[in-house]
Chains A and B, each alone.
Chain A
Amino acid sequence: MIEEEPYRHVAFGGQRVEVFATGSNSKSIVDTLFLDAPAGDKDVICCRFTVHDKDADRLSLVWDGATRYGTRSQDASGIGQCALTLWSELQYQICNSCDSGLILHAAAVTVDNQLIIFPGVSGAGKTTLSASLLAAGANYLTDELVFFNIETGFAQCLTRPFNVKHSGQEIVMKLLASANYEGYCLPNPVGSFIPHRLINDTMFRYPGPPQKPFAIIFPRFSVKSSLITEALSPANASVQLMSCLVNARNLDGDGLQGCRKLAESTSAWRMSYGPKRGLLSAIRNIIPTNEVFLR
């Protein structure tokens, strides 16, 4: 049942996951989720997953030696559930094992080759924001997880397709207006996986290389909000970062010193925003181009 070689590796936060896939449906799901994810075969393996649809009419997801999810191969909602389960479990396994740095619940893009991180809890608008910025010309890196290596000061992003929740679909679908997305999106119980390349294929070479964060922006989306930005002190940013920390329990002092290091190494902002255009230029305006500003 399991092929000898993994179909894909996902390497993030010093952890590595092997994903095996057999059958066209399985490979399609794995490609949709992990096509642009960072890969590598040097880190410690924390988990292995297998998706297979060799059995007639059955799509199965296996890890730790047991079939955890099964559905009919032609069941679109079942396929979406399988993809969401695979993503969620892979994310859990990585975050549960990672103790070498901060894993932040955050979106990230590059603007003019500078890495901008948008930490936020669920519902803060990370996906909507990163999709809007991608449409405006930024390079998309992730709408979900960023790893900050405390020793090196470099950040790594776990790139995946946008997971657009039902509440954000209207806005993101407008960004897809000119794209032929039929057959590429993967509906799941909380929304849809939408390949970022459909919104704007910037020819960015994935996975993005680890780089030092240039700015941290804590986003807050509201349909009625106009654009408001406010600079945050390192102390305030440290506390805000801790609220977005996924692997705090693996870290000394719940990650406070790591959050402090990140907050002290870059500038931090709070940004309320609405659906109006102009986000990218607003971000360019609040980010100083003078590197002396950086600590």
Chain B
Amino acid sequence: MASKPIDPKVVPQPQPGFHEEEIDSELVLYHPEAAQVVYLNPSATIVWCLCDGHRSLADIIAILQGEYPNQQTIEPDVHSAIYRFTNVGAISLS
């Protein structure tokens, strides 16, 4: 399913309450109060790590395009990951 474009200037803000649990080199987000747990695949993990509350969406995409110049789907992949984070409440776009 195609995700709606997000304003590239928006700065994704990680929300408090989510703990990172590293399991066998992969990341799981766990929110104790909400009893919520989210598995991050390797590409989602990279996007999550780049969401530091200062970088804009455009910054994140630019960094990944610089790192992976042959990867054609970086922009939709980042949008998809950000949507997923917002859906579970781990990221705010406001």
Instruction: From B7-15, B29-37, B60-68, B77-85, give the one contacting chain A.
Output: B29-37
At the interface, yes or no: B50 with Cβ under 8 Å from chain A? no
Residues of A within 8 A of B24 (CB): 233-235, 264
Distance, CA A256 to CA B21, complexed state (A): 9
Q: Across the interface, do B26 and A242 meet the contact criterion of CB distance under 8 Å?
A: no
Distance, CA A242 to CA B21, complexed state (A): 14
Contact pick for B28, options A235, A248, A249, A264, CB 8 Å: A235
Contact flag A236-B32 (CB < 8 Å), given A260-B23, A264-B23, A264-B24: no
The residues in A between 75 and 102 inclusive whose CB is less than 8 angstroms from any CB of B are none
Q: Across the interface, do A235 and B35 meet the contact criterion of CB distance under 8 Å?
A: no
Chain A: number of interface residues, binned into ranges: 10 to 19
Distance, CA A253 to CA B26, complexed state (A): 19
Contact pick for A256, options B27, B28, B40, B41, CB 8 Å: B28
Residues of A within 8 A of B39 (CB): 235-236, 238-240
Q: Across the interface, do B32 and A263 meet the contact criterion of CB distance under 8 Å?
A: no
At the interface, yes or no: B58 with Cβ under 8 Å from chain A? no
Chain B: number of interface residues, binned into ranges: 10 to 19
Distance, CA A239 to CA B35, complexed state (A): 12
**What is the interface of chain A mostly: helix, strand, loop, or mixed?**
helix
At the interface, yes or no: B93 with Cβ under 8 Å from chain A? no
Residues of B within 8 A of A249 (CB): 35
Residues of B within 8 A of A242 (CB): 37
Q: Across the interface, do B35 and A238 meet the contact criterion of CB distance under 8 Å?
A: no
Q: Across the interface, do B30 and A253 meet the contact criterion of CB distance under 8 Å?
A: yes
At the interface, yes or no: A43 with Cβ under 8 Å from chain B? no
CB distance from B88 to the nearest CB of A (A): 11
Q: Across the interface, do B32 and A239 meet the contact criterion of CB distance under 8 Å?
A: no
Distance, CA A253 to CA B28, complexed state (A): 13
At the interface, yes or no: B51 with Cβ under 8 Å from chain A? no
Residues of B within 8 A of A236 (CB): 26, 39, 41
At the interface, yes or no: B38 with Cβ under 8 Å from chain A? yes
Residues of B within 8 A of A256 (CB): 21, 28, 30, 37
In the complex, residue of chain A having the shortest beta-carbon distance to the beta carbon of B21: A256
Q: Across the interface, do A254 and B32 meet the contact criterion of CB distance under 8 Å?
A: yes
CB distance from B85 to the nearest CB of A (A): 15
Distance, CA A138 to CA B45, complexed state (A): 39
Contact flag A263-B23 (CB < 8 Å), given A235-B28, A238-B28: yes
In the complex, residue of chain A having the shortest beta-carbon distance to the beta carbon of B24: A234
Distance, CA A256 to CA B28, complexed state (A): 10
Q: Across the interface, do B23 and A253 meet the contact criterion of CB distance under 8 Å?
A: no
1/0 per residue, CB under 8 A from B, across A242-266: the answer is 1000001100011010001001100
CB distance from B91 to the nearest CB of A (A): 18
* 7 CB < 8 A contacts A-B: A234-B23, A234-B26, A235-B28, A236-B39, A236-B41, A254-B30, A264-B23
* Chain B interface (Cβ < 8 Å from any Cβ of A): 21, 23-24, 26-28, 30, 32, 35, 37-41
Other than the given A235-B39, A238-B28, 5 more pairs (CB < 8 A) read A238-B23, A239-B28, A249-B35, A254-B35, A256-B21
Q: When A and B form their complex, which 3 residue pairs have the shortest distance between CB atoms, in order from nearest?
A: A235-B26, A239-B39, A235-B23
